Structure 1
Amino acid sequence: MARAYIFPGQGSQAVGMGKDLAAAYAVARTVFDEVDEALHQKLSTLMFEGPEAELTLTANAQPALMATSLAVVRVLEAETGLDLSKDAAFVAGHSLGEYSALAAAGAFSISDAARLLRLRGEAMQKAVPPGQGAMAALLGIDYETGVALAAEAQKEAGYGAVCAIANDNGGGQVVASGTKAAVEQAIAIAKTKGVRRAILLPVSAPFHSVLMQPAAEAMAEALAAVEIKPPKISLVANVTATPVKDPAEIRKLLVAQVTATVRWRESMMFMAAQGVTLFVELGAGKVLTGLVKRIVENANGIGVAVPAEVDAYKAIL
């Protein structure tokens, strides 16, 4: 049974994430200590105790999610003998989850991944002034229809408006991103086209749109200064939905990813077409696990984030 290991993105964070792992496993504590040291911040305390509003800030949520995912990886390595180079057909991550996937596969050190994600979160937040951008979930719609709807909304919103599909999450779920007026126009249009639900998301910036270009430029500079090793296992990239192992190409794709659509549905379908039947989500939440069967009919998904789920993972080996 071929497996892919997948890593969650922003929105999966919650106060208490990683706390039980840290209490149960020394290797998990080591990961959290390494991230705290890299960031010169007790991020682990914020993760374990809150406050939620501070954890949700993009600059905190991104490295926190990576830290939790890598703590799970280290625990599985120690407790089950997990070796991604032998046990995984692919790794993939949703948006910031690509950094988690790459760190898990040995392309980045955990410290470098933490520092890059802190910078990424800060740069994405600064790219657009508060209140000028927005994102909306459109439910019950396929990607092609979403693209057409976003283009119509951008046109109707007028000069300077931006509206594009940021995430193709699969299962009839796409996310629009852009200037606030254009995204609100997309919601209005969606209601006339039979979209099941269209709602503004509680996010602080219009991620994965051209409005993030200043953040892409900041990441290009930062990534140029960081060593990227060939990953032990191919990453299925958000931007292309195809596998990549070359460090130069990975660097290029991570820059492009800031403004490009997260092609998650296509990524999952690609992995399934290569024979993957089990998708293991490593880290906080169960968002990606929930999408598995909605995208790939005969596949299974499991999530590992707490000690009991480590034991459940052992049981399927």
Structure 2
Amino acid sequence: MSRAFIFPGQGAQTIGMGRDLAEAYPAARAVFDEVDEALGQKLSSLIWEGEIETLTLTENAQPALMATSMAAMRALEAEGIAIDAAAFVAGHSLGEYSALTAAGALTLADAARLLRKRGRAMQAAVPVGVGAMAALLGLDLDAVRKVAAEAAQGDVVAAANDNDPGQVVISGHKAGVERAVDLAKAAGAKRAVMLPVSAPFHCALMQPAAEAMAQALADVQIKTPAVPLISNVEAAPVSDPDQIRALLEAQICGAVRWRESVQAMVDAGVEEFWEIGAGKALSGMVRRIHRPATVRNIGAAADITAAVESTKG
């Protein structure tokens, strides 16, 4: 059965994530130690014993989620399941960095430092209160694009995350996004809700962050991944390091084409998706995109045991 490893994005963070992996697997513990050293901060203490409000800050959540995903990946490897057990890797927004690290394209330390910079740059790109995001449920991408265009009225309003057939997230200027929420309800959306986020991610307002990340990425070595990455921006496989670098920059302002990314993997023969790290959000999206898919969550020591058993058969 062809398999893909997929890696979660922001919003999946919880206090305590990855702790039992670190306790059960020395290789997983070493991930948190290396990330702490790379950042010059006991991020592991914040993840396991801190306040959720502090962990949720973009500059903390992004490297923390990557570290948790990589701890799970190292635990799998300790049990004999390596990256070549997957045909593809993919990640939702910051999860793309986790995917690239898992596939050996980025070092763990470089990924941690890049995500700290990315988090800070995205937070600083737009003053608090100027931007917003909203989830529109029950409208497809074309319908959301029409709503966004009508709501803009000179503001930026764009489809930011095309998550699954019934969920598209929009991003942009707060007033424009609020207009879009009202228009979406009038257009037949099942729900249209403002999201509790600190900045309008994945839209043109993030251009200052894209420029900052272009500079940061220029100083980092990117290797050819062991298995192809399904890019957020193109929803297609990529392995060339220079193309990966350009796409990571473009991803800051570009939409996360998750629905199309999952469909591309299904079309390439993937039948089983393992969500590596915190939460289960991507698994739910995969099921809504392709109901016959088999999904598995790998976020705790017990999940590693179950995954190993599933491969024996």
TM-score bracket relative to the smaller structure: over 0.9
1:121 alignment partner, one of 119, 128, 131: 119
Amino acid at match of 2:21: L
Once the 2 structures are TM-superposed, how far is the Cα of residue 312 of structure 1 from its aligned partner? 1.0
Equivalent residue, structure 2, for 1:179: 173
5+ residue gaps, structure 2? none
**1:253 has 2:244 as partner:** no
Once the 2 structures are TM-superposed, how far is the Cα of residue 310 of structure 1 from its aligned partner? 0.8
| TM-score w.r.t. length of structure 1 | 0.97
2:259 alignment partner, one of 265, 277, 284: 265
SS in 1 for 2:253: coil
Once the 2 structures are TM-superposed, how far is the Cα of residue 228 of structure 1 from its aligned partner? 0.3
String of CA shifts for 1:77-102, please: whole Å, max 9, x gaps.
Answer: 001x11213x1110000000000000
SS in 2 for 1:175: strand
Q: RMSD over aligned Cα, in angstroms? A: 0.7
Aligned runs of 1:140-151 on 2, under 5 Å?
Answer: 140-151=138-149
Equivalent residue, structure 1, for 2:280: 286
Equivalent residue, structure 2, for 1:14: 14
5+ residue gaps, structure 1? none
String of CA shifts for 1:116-164, please: whole Å, max 9, x gaps.
Answer: 0000000000000000000000011111111111111102xxx3x1100
Aligned runs of 1:33-72 on 2, under 5 Å?
Answer: 33-72=33-72
Equivalent residue, structure 2, for 1:230: 224
- Find runs of 4+ consecutive structure 1 residues off by over 3 angstroms: none
Amino acid at match of 1:104: A
SS in 2 for 1:92: strand
Aligned residues: 311
**1:90 has 2:84 as partner:** no
**1:296 has 2:290 as partner:** yes
Equivalent residue, structure 1, for 2:150: 152
- How far apart, CA to CA, are the structure 1 residues paired with 2:41 and 2:186? 48
Amino acid at match of 2:105: A
Tell me if the contact between 2:89 and 2:229 (Cα under 8 Å) persists in the aligned partners: yes
- How far apart, CA to CA, are the structure 2 residues paired with 1:22 and 1:106? 21
- How far apart, CA to CA, are the structure 1 residues paired with 2:185 and 2:91? 31
Amino acid at match of 2:181: I
Equivalent residue, structure 2, for 1:191: 185
Amino acid at match of 1:162: V
SS in 2 for 1:258: helix
Identical amino acids, percent of aligned pairs: 61
Tell me if the contact between 2:81 and 2:308 (Cα under 8 Å) persists in the aligned partners: no
- How far apart, CA to CA, are the structure 2 residues paired with 1:220 and 1:82? 34
